Chain A
Amino acid sequence: MRIVFKTDYMQDIRPWKDRYQLGLYLILLAVVFAAPMVIDDFYLGELTNVLIWALAGMGLMILTGHTGQASLGHAAFLAFGCYANIILMEQGVPFMVAFPVAGLLTGIVGVIIAIPALRLHGIYLAIATLAMSILTDDIIVLTEPWTGGVGGKYAPSVNVFGFDIDRWGTPKEFYYLVLGVVVIVTLGYINLMRAPLGRSFIAVRDSEVSAQAMGVDIARTKAMSFGLSCAVTGLAGALMGLFAGAFNNETFSVIISIELLMMIVIGGLGSIHGAFFGAIVIGFLPQFLSISKEWVGAVFGGSSVAIPGLEFGVFGMILIGFILFEPMGIYGRWLKIRTFFELFPFYRKDMFKRQKSYLKTERLR
C-alpha cells in the first residue's frame, strides 16, 4: 500500500496525488498518442468515436454527475453545437474560430435555457429536458433555410494549422484533432473541480440547503453548470458532425440523449473517469455484439440473423444490472477492486457502503 505523506498544502490541491499516479496518466497519454501507429484505420475510427462520446459524456457529467441535475435533453445541445459549427464554416469562418465559437454559443444557449429550468427539480427537470430534446427534431425541420431540414447537411473537411483534416481522407489527423480537444477539456475539467466553482457544484449536488447555508449562490451555480456543460457538449456535437460526415434532423434524436445519460451512469456518476468508461462501453458494444453473434452462430450452427433492437435490449440489461448492483458504475467497481489490492488482507465488504436513506416527499418544501 502506498501512503502519501503530506508535507505541503499544495499536495491537497494539485491534480495528482503523487508522482506514481502522474506517471500512470502520462503513460496512458503516451499510449493513446501512439495508438494510430499500431491499430488500423477501422479501429482508429472506433477509437475516435469513443473519444467524441467521452467528450459529450464529460459535458453531461458536469451537469448530472457533479451538479446533480439530471438532463435527458443533451442531444439538443449536441445538435446545436454541430449545426452552429457547420453553419459558421459555411459562412467562411475558419474552423479554428468556428469550433470554439460553436461551443461558446451552445454554452450561452445552455445558460438561457437554465434560467427557466432553475425552477424545476428532479423529475420535472428530466421531463422538461426530454421535451426539449424531442422539440429539437421539429425545430431543425422548421428552420430549414439554415439547417437543411430533413435533407441534412454535409460536413466539409476542416483546416487546422494549415493541415486539411477529413474524417475519411485523413483519419489519423482527425484522431489527433479529437484527442487534442479531449485532452484540453479533460485538463480544464480537472482544474474546474479543484476551483471554488467546481466545489460549489458538488455542494449543490449533495445538499442545496447546506450549500445555500455555506453561502453558495444556488441559481448562479446551476446556471454556470448548465453553461459549461452545454459548451462542452456543443464541442462534442461539432466533432460528432464532422465524424458522421452527414447529418440531418434525426441524427441527434431523443434516443441519443437517453443513451448519453445512461452512458455516464454505467461509467460512474460523479467522476471524470466515468465518462470515459461509459464511452468505451457505448462505443464498443455494437462491435462486441456483432462479433459475439458471429461466434454464437459458428458454435451452434445457426445463421447470424440480424435481431432488431438487440443493441438497446442488451444495453438496457447492462444498465439495470449496474444500477441494481453497482450504482457507482464501472469506476466505482474499479475503485473497490483497487482498494481491495491496496489494503490487501484488510478490505471489508462494507467499506463503500452508503448510509441507508429513506424516501421523503418532495411535495412539501
Chain B
Amino acid sequence: MDTLQLLISGLANGCVYGLIALGFVLIYKATEAVNFAQGDFMMLGAFVTIGLTNAGYMGVPFWLAVPISITIMAALGYLLDRFVIRLMFGQSQTAVVILTIALGFVIRFVAGMIWGHEPQSLENPLAGKELRLGELVLGMEDVAVIVVTVLLTWGLYEFFNRTKMGLAMQGASQNQLAAYYMGVPVKRVQGFIWALAGAVACIAGILFAAKGAVDPSTGLMGIKAFAAAVIGGFGSLPGALAGGLIVGVIEPFASRYIAAGYSQVAPYALLLAVLIFRPHGLFSQVRVKKV
C-alpha cells in the first residue's frame, strides 16, 4: 500500500515535471530552440494566478482567474517572441539558450519584486479534499494534476499530428526557409508556439501552486524538467510526459530506499546516463540523413 501511495504522489509530481518538459518540447518542435526559462514561466504563471485569486491580493473567483491568467501568460509568451526572440531569427541554438537563461534571471527578479520571496500557496476549491479508493487515500489535487496532464498531452499530441497548424510547425522546425517557400507563415507559427508554451507553463504553474507552495526560485525546478525532456528525447510530446513521470516516480522511491545524500542525485544521474548511452533520448527523433 505504501508503495502505491508513493507511486501516486510520484506520478503527480512527475506530471508537473512532464508539463514543464512539454513546454520545452513544444518550442523545440516548432523552432528547434530550447527555452531555458520555461521553469520560470511556470513560476510566473503560478504567481499571476495567486495574484488574481488569493484573498490577500485581488480575490477573483478561482474558476474565473484560471482562464484569465492562462490568457495573460499566453499573451506574454507571444509578446516575448514578437519583441525578443524574433530578433534572434536564424541565430544559433546556443545564443537562444543563453538569452532564455538571462530571461529566467529577469523573470525571477521581477516576480520577487512584485510578490516577494516568501513561499505562497494557491487558494483553490480542491484544497484539502480527498478521494478514497478502498484503503488508498488520494489528495484531490494530485488526481487533478494527473487528469489535466494526461488530457493536455493527448490534446497537444493530436494537435501536432492532425491539424494543418501542427504540420506547419513541424515543417518550420525542420527548415525555416523551405517551409517559408511552401507557404508556411513561419513568423506567425513561431509566435503561436510561444503563446502555447506560455499557456502550458501557466497550467503547470497553477497545478504546482495548488499542490504545494511557490517562491521565485521555484523556476529552477525547470532543470529537473530538462531531465524529463531529455529522457523523452526532446521533440516527442508523449516522451516528455513519460520522462516527467519517470523522474517524478524515481524521486520518492530514491529518497525512501537509497541512503540520504545519494537520493537527490538520482534524476541527474539518470539524465547523464541517458545522454551517454542514448544521446538523443529514449524516444529519439534523429534520423540519419540520406543524400
Contacts and interface: CB of A to CB of B under 8 A. Distances in A.
Interface of A: 70, 116, 119-120, 122-124, 126-128, 130-132, 134-135, 138-139, 141-142, 254, 258, 261-262, 265, 307-310, 312-313, 315-317, 319-320, 323-324, 327, 356-365
B45 interface: no
A242 B173 CA distance: 48
Contacts of A116: 275-276
Contacts of A119: 276, 279
9 contacts: A134-B268, A142-B261, A254-B223, A313-B108, A313-B109, A323-B88, A358-B175, A360-B175, A363-B32
A327 B226 contact: no
B88 A324 contact: yes
A142 B262 contact: yes
A229 B48 CA distance: 43
B106 A365 contact: no
Nearest to A323: B99
A208 to B, nearest CB: 13
A124 B99 contact: no
Interface in B89-120: 90-95, 97-99, 101-106, 108-110, 112-113, 117
Contacts of B102: 262, 315-317, 319-320, 323
Interface string B60-97: 00000000000000000000000010011011111101
Q: Which 7 A-B pairs have the closest CB atoms?
A: A313-B109, A316-B105, A319-B102, A316-B106, A316-B102, A358-B177, A361-B174
A312 B261 contact: no
B287 interface: yes
A133 to B, nearest CB: 10
B50 interface: no
Contact of A122 (B93, B110, B112): B93
Contact of B264 (A138, A310, A361): A138
Nearest to B104: A316
Nearest to A264: B98
Contact of B271 (A131, A142, A327, A365): A131
B289 interface: yes
Contacts of A142: 261-262, 265
B138 interface: no
Given A262-B98, A312-B109, A323-B102, A127 B31 contact: no
B288 interface: yes
Nearest to B289: A364
Contacts of A70: 94, 97-98
Contacts of A317: 102, 106
Contacts of A356: 90
B176 interface: yes
Contact of A359 (B90, B105, B223, B261): B90
A128 B289 contact: no
A360 to B, nearest CB: 5
A313 B272 contact: no
A142 B262 CA distance: 8
A194 to B, nearest CB: 26
A320 B103 contact: yes
A52 to B, nearest CB: 22
Interface string B218-243: 00000100110010001100000000
Interface string B258-282: 0001101100110110011001100
Contacts of A262: 98, 101-102
A359 B30 CA distance: 11
Contacts of A261: 98, 101
Contact of A124 (B110, B175, B265, B280): B280
Interface in B6-65: 31-32, 34
B98 A265 contact: yes
A185 B286 CA distance: 40
Most A Cβ at <10 Å: residue of B90, B216, B289: B90
Contacts of A128: 271-272, 275
Contacts of B91: 327, 357
A356 B89 CA distance: 9
B188 to A, nearest CB: 16
Contacts of B117: 308-309
A316 B223 contact: no
A141 B106 CA distance: 30
**Considering residues A127, A312, A315, which has the most beta carbons from chain B within 10 angstroms of its beta carbon?**
A127
A327 B200 CA distance: 30
A364 B268 contact: no
Given A122-B94, A323-B99, A324-B88, A309 B223 contact: no
A127 B289 contact: no
B105 A313 contact: yes
A310 B216 CA distance: 13
A265 B94 CA distance: 11
B161 interface: no
B104 to A, nearest CB: 7
B285 interface: yes
A324 B84 contact: yes
